[in-house]
């Protein structure tokens, strides 16, 4: 790591060792291979006393590592409120409030890591920012993506725009659902977030919840009048994605909610095509019982029966043939 004895003493928060090394003129501005100084490590893993010792010894207070992070970034990221207060109140080092290489200020890092006390502290110091980092994420995006509902609740009072998309078109609500954070998603819904927001691939929150198997979030979306209309760029519906990932409970929930079971994706495949292709007898049985259309052909002209036959799964072939006969009998009757 190219670290000196002082690096290790600071990282271990060993006061006496730090004091001894400083008294013997140990260099305070040596960086390791990641560009970390002893002050960075102090803000990361030591306490205020060590930070004060290093600053009195003449450490470069504004040094940044390879990621453009300075001592204030590390203190905010690690919930070191006393260090932040010392730097900003006692030393008045306001010029430490800069963006790192990813475009993140200390406020972004505090929100991303769910440090509610640090967020409130930075707010009281006038360091709130609604700026986007390089991925287009605001502090609200970062808090929502990580399920920090207490931070989200505070930030909602600061952000006028709750549905701003990041670089991939994801809003804070979408990111909360994608991360499986139900409490956070519910809070954002209650505060007026758009339930039907789509990312740049045309995926909605319901798509991602179904894909990842988040049943409670799927039910939350269905209870809140989710619009079934939007289609993804690949035309896969949430039920397609649930089948592709073998989430049977999600398929049940979507069928019960009246979701279209005969929708076709960009390959013109219905959910039954996919279930047959994947040789999933349980899913095939569910879809057949739900009354899916067996006459739809995909882009290659193959019906679901053709797909099952091609997959060489005799049980599914038999199930579909019997279902076809039953449907024909119903029509004749």
- Is residue 296 located within the same domain as residue 217? no
Domain count for the chain, please give it. Answer: 4
pLDDT band at 227 (very low <50, low <70, confident <90, very high): confident
pLDDT band at 333 (very low <50, low <70, confident <90, very high): low
Average pLDDT of span 15-38: 97
- Is residue 128 located within the same domain as residue 202? no
Beta strands in 57-206 (DSSP E): none
Q: How far is CA 289 from CA 247, 261, 284, 324, in A?
A: 17, 11, 9, 12
Model pLDDT for residues 142-154, shown as the tens digit of each residue: 999 999 999 999 9
- Is residue 183 located within the same domain as residue 206? no
- Is residue 185 located within the same domain as residue 107? yes
Of 172, 194, 216, the domain-final residue: 194
For residue 330, give its domain range: 261-333
Of 71, 93, 115, the domain-final residue: 93
- Is residue 186 located within the same domain as residue 138? yes
| Per-chain mean pLDDT for the chain | 96
Query: How buried is 255 (Cβ within 10 angstroms: 0-12 exposed, 13-18 middle, 19+ buried)?
Result: buried
Q: What is the CATH number of the domain that holds 189?
A: 1.25.40.20
- Is residue 159 located within the same domain as residue 202? no
Of 161, 194, 227, the domain-final residue: 194
Model pLDDT for residues 80-100, shown as the tens digit of each residue: 999 999 999 999 999 999 999
pLDDT of res. 244: 98
- Is residue 66 located within the same domain as residue 107? no
CA 209-110-130 angle, 5° bins: 80
- Is residue 183 located within the same domain as residue 209? no
Model pLDDT for residues 240-275, shown as the tens digit of each residue: 999 999 999 999 999 999 999 999 999 999 999 999
pTM for this prediction:
0.93
Phi, psi at residue 23, to the nearest 5°? -65, -20
pLDDT band at 229 (very low <50, low <70, confident <90, very high): confident
- Is residue 108 located within the same domain as residue 155? yes
- Is residue 184 located within the same domain as residue 235? no
Tokens standing for 113? 């890591």
């Amino acid at each position: 790591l190219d670290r000196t004895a002082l690096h290790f003493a600071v990282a271990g928060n060993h006061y006496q060792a730090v004091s001894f090394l400083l008294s013997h003129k140990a260099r305070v501005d040596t960086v390791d291979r990641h560009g970390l100084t002893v002050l960075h490590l102090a803000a990361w893993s030591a306490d205020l006393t060590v930070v004060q010792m290093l600053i009195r010894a003449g450490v470069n207070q504004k040094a940044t590592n390879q990621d453009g992070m300075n001592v204030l970034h590390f203190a905010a990221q690690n919930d070191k409120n006393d260090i932040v207060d010392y730097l900003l109140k006692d030393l008045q080092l306001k010029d430490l409030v800069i963006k790192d290489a990813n475009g993140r200020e200390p406020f972004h890092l505090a929100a991303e890591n769910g440090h509610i006390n640090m967020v409130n502290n930075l707010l009281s110091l006038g360091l709130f920012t609604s700026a986007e980092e390089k991925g287009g994420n605001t502090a609200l995006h970062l808090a929502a993506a990580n399920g920090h509902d207490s931070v989200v609740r505070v930030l909602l009072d600061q952000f006028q725009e709750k549905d701003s998309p990041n670089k991939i078109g994801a809003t804070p609500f979408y990111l909360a659902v994608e991360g499986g954070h139900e409490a956070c998603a519910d809070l954002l819904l209650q505060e007026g977030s758009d339930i039907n927001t789509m990312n740049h691939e045309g995926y909605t929150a319901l798509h991602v919840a179904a894909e990842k198997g988040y049943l409670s979030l799927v039910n939350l979306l269905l209870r809140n009048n989710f619009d079934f209309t939007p289609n993804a760029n690949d035309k896969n519906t949430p039920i397609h994605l649930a089948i592709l990932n073998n989430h049977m409970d999600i398929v049940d929930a979507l069928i019960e909610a009246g979701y279209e079971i005969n929708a076709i994706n960009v390959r013109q495949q219905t959910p039954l095509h996919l279930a047959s292709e994947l040789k999933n007898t349980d899913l095939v049985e569910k879809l057949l019982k739900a009354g899916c259309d067996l006459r739809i052909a995909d882009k290659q002209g193959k019906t679901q029966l053709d797909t099952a036959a091609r997959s060489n799964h005799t049980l599914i072939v038999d199930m579909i043939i019997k279902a076809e006969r039953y449907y024909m009998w119903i029509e004749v009757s």
